[in-house]
Amino acid sequence: MTPEYEFHQRDRDIHPPAFTPVYKTSVLRSPRIPLWSLQNSLSEITGPTFSRDELGPLDNDLILNYAKDGKPIGEQTIVHGRVLDGNGRPVPNTLVEVWQANAGGRYRHRNDTYIAPIDPNFGGCGRMLTDDSGYYFFRTVKPGAYPFRNRVNSWRPAHIHFSVFGSGFAQRLITQMYFEGDPLIPHDSIMATIPNKSAAERLVAKLDLNASLPLECLAYRFDIVLRGSRQTLFENKLHGG
Amino acid sequence: MSDLYLPETPSQTAGPYVHIGLIPNQAGFDIFANNFSGDIAGPDVAGERVVIEGRIFDASGHIAKDVLVETWQANAAGRYYHPADRQDKSLDPKFRGWARTGTDFETGIYRINTIKPGAVAGRRGRKTMAPHVSFWIASRGINVGLATRMYFGDEAAANAGDPVLNIIEQPERRQTLIAARSEQKGQTIYTFDIHLGGERETVFFDV
């Protein structure tokens, strides 16, 4: 009945605050009353588990998982890395989901009306489970930059959205990954919501030439860290583990 | 932050196109053979069938029609489908307890077909928590996913003793977490509206 562990308090200083006028949409969608701090119960340390048979064999291959009469246009790219927790331990068998625009910066979404064309062979989403060492990888085409309605002339740098679960629902995280060297990053209003510069830099994936496939595919490396946890050592000892 | 630990990866907004990755059917296309959904009370699941539905309002009172909604809950016996839950209660192998849906682009209504959970032991096995469903929402304009809980309006006695509701200092704010029960067309509906801001701002938790 006693939770074996609980998550470390979330360090809110490395996350964007809720209210960030530089990103205008946040203004009306940000609670003004402080969050109530809630010590972990079973409801927070547990969370959904997923199995490999729920996923299809091409779910992590965005080059092939929506291919109709050919492959999508764009720079063939591998993104890979590990999901770790704050203690440095791998997070195995956790669900990682990704979505992105196509190489022209257009999303396959009924609400996206940008002038860049839809790519008939690109869906723009994928998913995978980490292995026992927390490792994940997927293949895709590098997304394009696109404009969005924020300031008069706001553009998003190329990015891939990530959703990650972890072992407990309190670790739930959605974020975005950027590409090393993108000149739009310093101008991005979404990146600018993160006040801590070194935290923001951790969202920029590094070019990983060693993992690139010669004559075939570039690679970028993106490690993800979820909240760590504390074992309740004293209680375990007292009760004989 | 000490260098004894790795710092968490910072959150970013899920953006307006969160549906592509997480509920592609709502984005307008079909890609995966198996999709996660808000219908989690299959025929073999034990428990009372209930519908949880509602809308999500921004601070100006307008309905947010592009929000991802996820819920996590115990089974009818009050046990989570997770190895860390070692309560002496029955597991339901047909019930994972996790649902995912989005608010509708036209009506703004989200809907989850589930079962009513049982009560769960509180922190460190102390005061039992009233039956509840954990919510996590993400969308465009939400920089870090928001966590809250829904409690059941017909559980007044259990709610009055709930250790989480009772830490909320202002009693009237506890009401933002309690969903009214109604019967409509043979279904049991719990209506749970969420207010991201404004006078009726929902209680959100730092979990």
- The sign of the torsion formed by the CA atoms of A22, A28, A29, A31 equals positive
Active site residue A178: no
Nearest-CA distance A5 → chain B (Å):
9
Nearest to A87 among B5, B72, B201 (CB): B5
Q: Provide the pLDDT for residue B125.
A: 77
Give the Cα separation of B53 and A5 in Å (integer).
33
Find how far residue B78's CA is from the centre of its chain. Answer: 16
Nearest-CA distance B45 → chain A (Å):
16
B100 vs A4, more confident: B100
Domains located in chain A, CATH noted? 5-11+45-238 (2.60.130.10)
Q: Does residue B108 surpass a pLDDT of 70? A: yes
CATH of B18-195, one of 2.60.40.10, 2.60.130.10, 3.60.15.10, 3.30.460.80: 2.60.130.10
Q: Provide the pLDDT for residue A236.
A: 46
Check if the beta carbon of residue A118 is closer than 8 Å to that of residue A109.
no
Nearest-CA distance B11 → chain A (Å):
5
Q: For chain B, give the percent of residues with pLDDT over 70.
A: 99
Structure-block tokens of residue A191:
């990146």
CB burial of residue A82 (10 Å; 0-12, 13-18, 19+): middle
Give the Cα separation of A26 and A17 in Å (integer).
10
Q: What count of CB pairs under 8 Å joins A to B?
A: 280
Hey, are the CB atoms on A175 and B132 less than 8 Å from each other? no
Give the Cα separation of B14 and B137 in Å (integer).
10
Give the Cα separation of B148 and B150 in Å (integer).
7
Hey, are the CB atoms on B24 and A123 less than 8 Å from each other? yes
Whole-angstrom CA distances from A45 to A6, A135, A230 are: 6, 22, 11
Domain ranges of chain B: 18-195
Q: Is B194 on the interface with A (CB under 8 A)?
A: no
Q: For chain A, give the percent of residues with pLDDT over 90.
A: 93
ipTM, 2 dp: 0.97
Active site residue A239: no
Structure-block tokens of residue A89:
């331990």
Q: Provide the pLDDT for residue A182.
A: 98
What residues in B contact A31, CB-CB < 8 Å?
146, 196-197, 201-202, 204
What residues in B contact A109, CB-CB < 8 Å?
16-17, 19-20, 27-28
Active-site residue among A107, A136, A178, A220?
A107
Q: Is A157 on the interface with B (CB under 8 A)?
A: no
Q: Is B98 on the interface with A (CB under 8 A)?
A: yes
Residues B43-63 have a mean pLDDT of 98
Hey, are the CB atoms on B206 and A173 less than 8 Å from each other? no
Q: What is the pLDDT of residues A159-201, one digit of tens each?
A: 999 999 999 999 999 999 999 999 999 999 999 999 999 999 9
Active site residue A114: no
Hey, are the CB atoms on A28 and B140 less than 8 Å from each other? no
Hey, are the CB atoms on B96 and A48 less than 8 Å from each other? yes
Q: What is the pLDDT of residues A48-61, one digit of tens each?
A: 999 999 999 999 99
Q: List the single best residue of A169, A171, A193, A202 to mutate versus B (max B Cβ within 10 A).
A: A169
Q: Provide the pLDDT for residue B3.
A: 82
pLDDT band at B155; cut points 50, 70, 90: very high
Q: Provide the pLDDT for residue A233.
A: 57
Nearest-CA distance B190 → chain A (Å):
20
Nearest-CA distance B134 → chain A (Å):
7
Q: Does residue A12 surpass a pLDDT of 90? A: yes
Q: Does residue A3 surpass a pLDDT of 70? A: no
What residues in B contact A2, CB-CB < 8 Å?
124-125
